[in-house]
């Protein structure tokens, strides 16, 4: 059972209300929690690792890697009406170097520093989510410390599995302890399943990404890892994959003794406790299911740009209000309010600085805001 301390709920609510009041944001101001950077250093590492080039295009997990520049990203944000976006690295991160942990550690650090430089170039438009050199847990914990404590990243990016090591695995407890100590927000991107035959030779993003999100949530449930770390806020993309449709089945079947005899109501509470973005999940059926399952307060905007091209991302964003039957107040929460409630560092970056004034007090000049 996940029990979120009342103080944390109060903090989250206060943060969201403070952000809305401080910025007087339009309901249409969007924060995109699911967008990807493709630094040249990462693309080159994938090529060096032997990922194929098909018809002149690098292909990873059966899917083409698009061309990308930071300028194109900002231009696309403007076209989509996105005010702020968090950048992350999609699968396979650096876990394709699982057998070469020293290389993976070095590449993750170089990529994180590249992400940091993007955010310095556009501090009011971009944030970053830390890339971890998993499956090396020791190196991953060190990178969490570096990204969150030194570089002040908005949060951390994880994958449903890293070279077959799934969230929920006991060896990852140290990761969750480090995240919990920092009340971190985590974005979990799906990956090709550990059992590669599950894709039947088709690109993993086609159908296996939605199901690998379920595998990760199910494993964290059955091992108790999620329940042990309630202070970690977790986002799953693509409307949570298949979880709105199979959560009740998981809750029912996991109540049998062989699976731990879990309480179905507590299981549903845990599964509904995640946040979910709208990337590739903007149809009437998907939004109705997500709205019923998680509630408006758990839905975030996600575009999946550039893997979803700008044209497709725009169509998806424009479909959300009508297909979700959202009110203007609902859209303010979906577009930015919910994100601001779980990313306090975004709130701090967007907060308008108050003017600095000075006054004389005897022989001293006091500076105040």
Nearest to 219 by CA among 171, 289, 154: 171
Structure tokens belonging to residue 174: 């140290």
Is it the case that residue 58 has pLDDT exceeding 60?
Answer: yes
Q: Which residues lie across from 357 on neighbouring strands?
A: 368
In degrees and rounded to multiples of 5, residue 111 shows phi and psi of -70, -40
Whole-number pLDDT of residue 221: 98
Whole-number pLDDT of residue 108: 98
Q: How far apart are CA 204 and CA 208, in angstroms?
A: 5
Residues 228-277 have pLDDT tens digits of 999 999 999 999 999 999 999 999 999 999 999 999 999 999 999 999 99
CB of 234 within 8 A of CB of 277?
A: no
Residues 120-156 have pLDDT tens digits of 999 999 999 999 999 999 999 999 999 999 999 999 9
Q: How far apart are CA 175 and CA 139, in angstroms?
A: 10
Q: How far apart are CA 287 and CA 331, in angstroms?
A: 13
Q: With bands split at pLDDT 50, 70 and 90, how would you rate the model's confidence at 202? A: low
How many CA within 13 A on the CB side of residue 184? 28
Whole-number pLDDT of residue 6: 45
Whole-number pLDDT of residue 3: 46
Say which residue, 198 or 325, is predicted with more confidence: 325
Instruction: Give how far Cα 42 sits from Cα of 72, 89, 341, Å.
Output: 18, 9, 31
Whole-number pLDDT of residue 23: 53
Instruction: Give how far Cα 143 sits from Cα of 57, 129, 154, Å.
Output: 31, 11, 14
Whole-number pLDDT of residue 366: 37
Global confidence as pTM: 0.88
**Pairing state of beta strands 299-300 and 30-36?**
unpaired
Whole-number pLDDT of residue 363: 37
CB of 351 within 8 A of CB of 22?
A: yes
Give mean pLDDT, residues 57-64.
91
Q: How far apart are CA 158 and CA 140, in angstroms?
A: 10
Instruction: Give domain limits for the chain.
Output: 6-368
Structure tokens belonging to residue 120: 């310095």
In degrees and rounded to multiples of 5, residue 263 shows phi and psi of -75, 120
- Return the H-helix or E-strand segment holding 275: strand 275-277
Q: How far apart are CA 184 and CA 281, in angstroms?
A: 25
Whole-number pLDDT of residue 368: 34
6-368: in CATH 3.20.20.70: no
Per-chain mean pLDDT for the chain: 90
Is it the case that residue 72 has pLDDT exceeding 80?
Answer: yes
């Amino acid at each position: 059972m996940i029990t979120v301390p009342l103080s944390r709920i109060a903090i989250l609510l206060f943060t969201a209300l403070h952000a809305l009041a401080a910025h007087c944001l339009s309901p249409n101001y969007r924060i995109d929690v699911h967008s990807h950077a493709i630094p040249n250093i990462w693309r080159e590492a994938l090529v060096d690792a032997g990922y194929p080039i098909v018809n002149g295009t690098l292909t990873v997990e059966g899917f083409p890697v698009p061309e990308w520049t930071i300028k194109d990203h900002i231009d696309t944000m403007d076209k989509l009406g996105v005010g702020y976006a968090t950048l992350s690295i999609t699968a396979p991160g650096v876990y394709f170097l699982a057998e070469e942990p020293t290389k993976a550690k070095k590449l993750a650090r170089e990529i994180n520093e590249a992400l940091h430089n993007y955010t310095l170039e556009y501090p009011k438009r971009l944030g970053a989510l830390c890339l971890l050199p998993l499956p090396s847990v020791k190196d991953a914990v060190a990178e969490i410390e570096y990204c969150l404590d030194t570089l002040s990243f908005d949060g951390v990016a994880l994958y449903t599995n890293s070279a077959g090591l799934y969230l929920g695995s006991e060896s990852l407890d140290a990761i969750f302890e480090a995240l919990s100590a920092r009340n971190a927000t985590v974005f979990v991107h799906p990956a090709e399943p550990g059992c590669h035959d599950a894709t039947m030779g088709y690109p993993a993003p086609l159908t296996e990404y939605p199901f690998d999100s379920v595998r990760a949530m199910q494993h964290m449930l059955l091992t108790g890892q999620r329940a042990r770390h309630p202070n970690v806020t977790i986002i799953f993309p693509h409307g949570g994959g298949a979880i709105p449709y199979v959560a009740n089945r998981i809750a029912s079947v996991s109540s049998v003794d062989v699976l731990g005899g879990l309480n179905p109501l507590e299981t549903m509470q845990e599964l509904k406790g995640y946040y979910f973005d709208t990337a590739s999940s903007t149809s009437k059926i998907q939004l109705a299911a997500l709205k019923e399952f998680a509630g408006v307060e758990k839905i975030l905007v996600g575009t999946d740009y550039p893997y979803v091209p700008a044209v497709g991302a725009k169509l998806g964003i424009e479909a959300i209000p009508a297909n979700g039957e959202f009110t203007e107040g609902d859209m303010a929460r979906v577009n930015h309010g919910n994100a601001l409630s779980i990313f306090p560092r975004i709130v701090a970056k967007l907060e308008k600085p108050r003017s600095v004034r000075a006054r004389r007090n005897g022989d001293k000049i006091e500076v105040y805001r």
